[in-house]
Homo-oligomer: A and B are copies of this chain.
């Protein structure tokens, strides 16, 4: 299977390599008849342009590096899928780098991707602080968009979910279905999801006049923490527990069932993210669905923008509004009040 080169197509079609290149890449006007001959010859020989050679010469590989903490985190596969499809629709390919949740690995992978001359980077940072250096350095070389997780201000464009809106949706829903003794199980740490969801919870409960009731327990984004947290909050007899992500919520569901607490009869439980398991939990989990496709589309759009030459210009922060998915875990007990709050703005850009 010897590969056919441009030169051979040129010979077969009786014109120069330059002309063949122009026809096939469509960069410059070419005579109709010549173009036909070239295409015919290319077709007949089964010519396929060598993207590596093209990349070397044109200084563009048509490749984007996608760097993420851990593909096994259940929230990521759908995001990867959407990013991959969006990029492929633009003719780009995805170099995948899984960082094993380790900032040092992340730095190494980013460096490797740059060596491979990716045109741009799409990064879901491992850690708000520890990833910062590597990300900032990379951003100096290629267009770079952060996805899902912030990494300090002004480093690069960031596309993420509007956590505040998500929390507001949850709390509105709980209050409008008669819950009042609400508490929160979140994550400690400096990650944007942990910080923003907690802050939003506190701001919103205050706004709703619920402040001062429930315990706020902070651990990590894990099932185990969800289980453990239940034992901590139960003594205060809540009627709803808002969890900072689905894993925590599913852990909470498990422990509540084990203790014989009825969900949603005694306590409503809500999550955040809408990972595939949320729908399979028993009872199925009410949660906030991140706008995965839109996040991917927006991130890819921003990359395109930067790639199209505007790699200066101010950094953008794009927050996309999530959507509340009401399932059994927050079904009203008996009578339900109506929802009195207005809808949130769907998108904020600043």
Contacts and interface: CB of A to CB of B under 8 A. Distances in A.
A95 B93 contact: yes
A190 to B, nearest CB: 25
Nearest to A247: B280
Given A77-B77, A98-B84, A276-B277, A115 B71 contact: no
A199 interface: no
Nearest to A80: B71
Interface string A37-74: 00000000000111111011000010100100011101
A96 B98 contact: no
A270 interface: no
Contact of A116 (B77, B93, B96, B250): B93
Interface in A84-113: 84-85, 88, 93-98, 100, 109, 111-113
B100 A51 contact: no
Contacts of A280: 223, 250, 254, 277, 280-281
Contact of A282 (B66, B81, B116, B257): B257
Contact of A96 (B84, B254, B281): B84
Contacts of A117: 50-52
Contacts of A77: 71-72, 74, 76-77
A160 to B, nearest CB: 21
Interface residues of A, number: 50
Contacts of A35: none
A1 interface: yes
Nearest to A142: B1
A70 B1 CA distance: 30
A114 interface: yes
A257 B113 CA distance: 49
A140 interface: yes
A56 B52 contact: yes
Interface string A287-330: 00000000000000000000000000000000000000000000
A129 interface: no
Given A84-B98, A95-B94, A277-B280, A61 B52 contact: yes
Nearest to A250: B280
B94 A48 contact: no
A66 B71 CA distance: 14
A117 to B, nearest CB: 5
A98 B77 CA distance: 11
A192 interface: no
A140 B74 contact: no
Contacts of A109: 88
A52 B53 CA distance: 8
A78 interface: yes
6 contacts: A1-B141, A71-B71, A71-B80, A74-B276, A84-B98, A94-B95
